[in-house]
Structure 1
Amino acid sequence: MSSILTNTSAMVALQTLKGINSDLSRVQSEISTGKSVGSAKDNSALWAISKVMESDVQGFKSISESLSLGESTIAVARQGAETVTDLLTEIKGKIVAAQEENVDRGKIQTDIDALTSQIGSVVGAAQFNGLNLLKGTEGVDILASLDRQESGQVTASNIAVARQDLSADAGVYGTGTALSANSVASAGPIANTGNTQSITFANTADSSSDTFDITVAGSTLSFVGADFGAVTEEVAIDQIAGAINALGLEGVSASRTGSDLVLTSTRAFEDVDVTFSGTGVTDDTVSIAERAENVTFSQVSQVNEGDGYRVTVGSTVATYIAGQGETFEDVANGLKAAIDSADVDGLTTLVTTDANGAQVLKIDNDSATSITTFTAVGAAGGEASGGLFGLDGIDVSTNAGADAALANVEVLIQNSIDAAAEFGTAQGRIEIQAEFIGKLTDSLKTGIGTLVDADMEEASARLQALQVQQQLGVQALSIANQAPQSILSLFR
């Protein structure tokens, strides 16, 4: 049946042409924008995923900038620490030269003061955009990544960079919790006399049948009673003492008290072993204790930032406040530097480890008088001393000062080396992270492109096909619209 009111063919052709035009419009949009999913109506799921990923890309671009800023800041700090190390090495060379007696120590001290001042300038100038990692103890967090969980929660992760204080600041002693139990001073006073051990001989010590050996600090003397001749025991002991003194052992002397041979040692930081055996004496080994007094630090307690320790030696009060991550070895070295800086006549110090593994600060007195006041205390809640604490107190104008400076500068050099190494590690880590973020950003962009970018080869082919279809659709619609005209022929 033909109808002039309803043209079914035209309707079909029209719908077909509309579909073709819609597809053609979409393909043209893909070609012009380069995207197959340009908005949420194109594909809401893919569009939503792509937008989340695009936001992450923008975040990673900001992270890359943060890493670049952090890397530059740490590079400045590392170079500053390396420069300080070089300057401290120069100071060590000056100190070594001052060990000689026939040098102008005044001029050497002038050079050391100039280098010390230069170190202060380097530390003060080692900042980037106002941030100086060579001063203070508070760490710095550098934004390193955004971590997206499966739940969609996003958290930021940081690279923590610890400051490495290379200032010579003394710090501030705190008034917090008492820490005196962590540093125990031996029972004073700090005597200026030697320690002794006695050997008691039998009444037959002058007998020709007596033979015995005495070993003092590794040197052995052998005696035969007949060699003394017909003398009293006291005379024989005097001869033995004379033989020991003739060895010329540093800090060791022998004398007689009654019928005892008395051995005396003024060695500051070394015990002297004495062994005697044979007839006329009782076989035994004794030890003459070192003259120095000790401050022994805890083996089990932890050192926290701001923990201060104070040692009083006579009228000298030495104070050191621990920084972040320091140990009792650092505390002992800091107190040693403080005591040495006071330049007390006859006072020498040494930091060592005892048989139990505890850190020990040894203090010896070689002055004309004993020191009666000797205490050690501690308290929390202070402000840390600088990593180069004691640098300002280096003084090579005297023999004792030159000797003390040689040990102290080694600690300072190690501190600066450790600081430079820490910065180098952090800088390397940031470089790796920056490289990773760059690759991750590229991967995300590639993933986004895979989801929403148009396949231009396919779009080009489809465009040509749709253009042909459009032309055919127009022709088909034109033919369908002409169909009612044929009905007029029935009425002619």
Structure 2
Amino acid sequence: MASSLLTNSAAMTALQTLRNVSASLQTTENRISTGQRVSTASDNSAYWSIATSMRADNAALSAVSDSLGLSAATVDTEYTALNKVIGDQNSGLTKLQALLVEAKTAGIDRTKIQAEITQIQQDMKNVANAATFNGVNWLSTNASTPTTVNLVSSFSRVGGTPTINTITVTVANYSLYTATTGGILDTVTGSASVNTIGIGALTDSTADQTILDGYIAQVTTAINTVSQSAANLGAIKNRISNNTEFVKSLMDSVDRGIGQLVDADMNAESTRLQALQTQQQLGVQALSIANQNSQSILSLFRG
């Protein structure tokens, strides 16, 4: 091969090789520093676009998870209060029913029984008023309380169309007390509501015994209605819990999918980095040798 002062082919070849190695080395270093083999659209436009959409979906799922947490807390508050109102042998509607049955006994002091009934009525009212979470109360409502509430339950996207699913709650099904006395416990049936039952003035007469029978039937109906309401909230509570677990699992799955698309294989990149660093050193050495060949031509012109 002829030697030329104007064209150093060996140096040009070595320089081009060194440029290619440096570019590959920069790509590898970027992957190692970011942990991603696709960090920008220029790396792989298709995978970058898919990963970007999936990240947006995961952000939406995170918002759904937060909403489910808020819904779960709200439902749990109302559910707990309903169970408290149903009560047991010492409290709530269950105790109220037992007291009314006891009041059927001839000659019993119904004034003392009424004192207990009044305490139970006030306690149930207090429980309903306290069943508030984040300003929401379905058990003791007023004119500003919405008739229905939509609880966000899930998010999905088919193509470019997002879908947000909700659980619809009809507040009237759980209202124990309302501003218009139309709740489960303050609706008047006959002469009184569960909230206003009074037996202190009743006697052993047949007419008063009939009134007591009506009160007992009224409280029994209330127990059944409140129990059904609690059962419905229990089902909603379980659904929210299942959806919460599913959303968390789905977010993990999406994260794994994104990782498979864009994450770098650090073992492979580490091996590639060492190989490219070696190639870069050899390229520098080859370029140095090629440049030295031009210097040796000068020796031919020395006298």
Same fold, TM-score > 0.5, yes or no: yes
Instruction: Work out which of the two has the higher radius of gyration on C-alpha atoms and give 1 or 2.
Output: 1
Report how far residue 2 of structure 1 moved.
2.4
* Counterpart Cα distance in 1 of 2:179 and 2:110: 26
| Residues 372-397 of structure 1: CA deviation (Å, up to 9, x unaligned) | xxxxxxxxxxxxxxxxxx21342332
Q: Which residue of 2 aligns with 1:148?
A: 157
| Residues 327-372 of structure 1: CA deviation (Å, up to 9, x unaligned) | xxx9xxx99x52243xxxxxxxxxxxxxxxxxxxxxxxxxxxxxxx
* Counterpart Cα distance in 1 of 2:140 and 2:123: 15
Spell out the pairing of 1:396-415 with structure 2 (5 A cutoff): 396=199, 397=202, 398-415=208-225
Asked whether the equivalents of residues 74 and 133 of structure 1 are also in contact (C-alpha less than 8 Å), the reply is no
Q: Which has the higher strand share?
A: 1
Q: 1:469 to 1:168 in 2, by over 3 A?
A: closer
| Residues 269-294 of structure 1: CA deviation (Å, up to 9, x unaligned) | xxxxxxxxxxxxxxxxxxxxxxxxxx
Report how far residue 122 of structure 1 moved.
0.7
Q: Which residue of 2 aligns with 1:391?
A: 194
Structure 1 stretches (4+) deviating beyond 6 angstroms? none
Alignment-mate amino acid for residue 120 of structure 2? L
* Counterpart Cα distance in 1 of 2:219 and 2:100: 9
Asked whether the equivalents of residues 81 and 416 of structure 1 are also in contact (C-alpha less than 8 Å), the reply is yes
Residue from 267, 291, 294 that aligns with 1:457 = 267
Whether 1:438 aligns to 2:248 is yes
* Counterpart Cα distance in 1 of 2:30 and 2:178: 68
* Counterpart Cα distance in 2 of 1:27 and 1:14: 20
* Counterpart Cα distance in 1 of 2:177 and 2:17: 86
| Residues 153-172 of structure 1: CA deviation (Å, up to 9, x unaligned) | 21222122332334244838
* Counterpart Cα distance in 1 of 2:5 and 2:140: 95
After TM superposition, the score normalised by the length of structure 1 is 0.55
Alignment-mate amino acid for residue 155 of structure 2? L
Higher relative contact order, structure no. (Cα contacts within 8 Å, ≥ 6 residues apart): 2
Asked whether the equivalents of residues 395 and 402 of structure 1 are also in contact (C-alpha less than 8 Å), the reply is no
Q: Which residue of 2 aligns with 1:131?
A: 136
Alignment-mate amino acid for residue 110 of structure 1? A
Asked whether the equivalents of residues 46 and 452 of structure 1 are also in contact (C-alpha less than 8 Å), the reply is yes
Whether 1:74 aligns to 2:82 is no
Q: Which residue of 2 aligns with 1:175?
A: none
- Give the match's secondary structure for 2:190: helix
Alignment-mate amino acid for residue 252 of structure 2? D
Q: Which residue of 2 aligns with 1:23?
A: 24
Report how far residue 409 of structure 1 moved.
0.7
Q: 1:412 to 1:110 in 2, by over 3 A?
A: same
Q: 1:491 to 1:54 in 2, by over 3 A?
A: same
Asked whether the equivalents of residues 154 and 166 of structure 2 are also in contact (C-alpha less than 8 Å), the reply is yes
Q: Which residue of 2 aligns with 1:178?
A: none
| Residues 240-276 of structure 1: CA deviation (Å, up to 9, x unaligned) | xxxxxxxxxxxxxxxxxxxxxxxxxxxxxxxxxxxxx
Alignment-mate amino acid for residue 22 of structure 2? N
Count of aligned residue pairs for this structure pair = 284
Alignment-mate amino acid for residue 18 of structure 2? L
- Give the match's secondary structure for 1:339: coil
* Counterpart Cα distance in 2 of 1:432 and 1:170: 35
After TM superposition, the score normalised by the length of structure 2 is 0.88
Spell out the pairing of 1:317-332 with structure 2 (5 A cutoff): none
Asked whether the equivalents of residues 138 and 175 of structure 2 are also in contact (C-alpha less than 8 Å), the reply is no
Alignment-mate amino acid for residue 158 of structure 2? Q
Spell out the pairing of 1:159-198 with structure 2 (5 A cutoff): 159-163=167-171, 164-169=173-178, 171=180
* Counterpart Cα distance in 2 of 1:409 and 1:418: 14
Asked whether the equivalents of residues 152 and 167 of structure 2 are also in contact (C-alpha less than 8 Å), the reply is yes
Asked whether the equivalents of residues 21 and 280 of structure 2 are also in contact (C-alpha less than 8 Å), the reply is yes
Asked whether the equivalents of residues 394 and 401 of structure 1 are also in contact (C-alpha less than 8 Å), the reply is no
Q: Which residue of 1 aligns with 2:53?
A: 52
* Counterpart Cα distance in 2 of 1:47 and 1:23: 20
Q: Which residue of 1 aligns with 2:230?
A: 420
Q: Which residue of 2 aligns with 1:101?
A: 106
| Residues 45-70 of structure 1: CA deviation (Å, up to 9, x unaligned) | 11111111111112211211111111
* Counterpart Cα distance in 1 of 2:213 and 2:45: 79
Alignment-mate amino acid for residue 140 of structure 1? V
Residue from 417, 429, 433 that aligns with 2:239 = 429
Asked whether the equivalents of residues 28 and 273 of structure 2 are also in contact (C-alpha less than 8 Å), the reply is yes
| Residues 403-436 of structure 1: CA deviation (Å, up to 9, x unaligned) | 1111111110011101111111111100000000
Alignment-mate amino acid for residue 395 of structure 1? G
Asked whether the equivalents of residues 395 and 401 of structure 1 are also in contact (C-alpha less than 8 Å), the reply is no
Aligned-residue CA RMSD (Å): 2.0
Residue from 87, 112, 124 that aligns with 1:119 = 124
Q: Which has the higher helix share?
A: 2
* Counterpart Cα distance in 1 of 2:151 and 2:17: 60
Spell out the pairing of 1:321-360 with structure 2 (5 A cutoff): 338-341=189-192
Percent of residue pairs bearing the same amino acid type: 40
Q: Which residue of 1 aligns with 2:6?
A: 5
Asked whether the equivalents of residues 189 and 218 of structure 2 are also in contact (C-alpha less than 8 Å), the reply is no
Q: Which residue of 2 aligns with 1:373?
A: none
Q: Which residue of 1 aligns with 2:205?
A: none
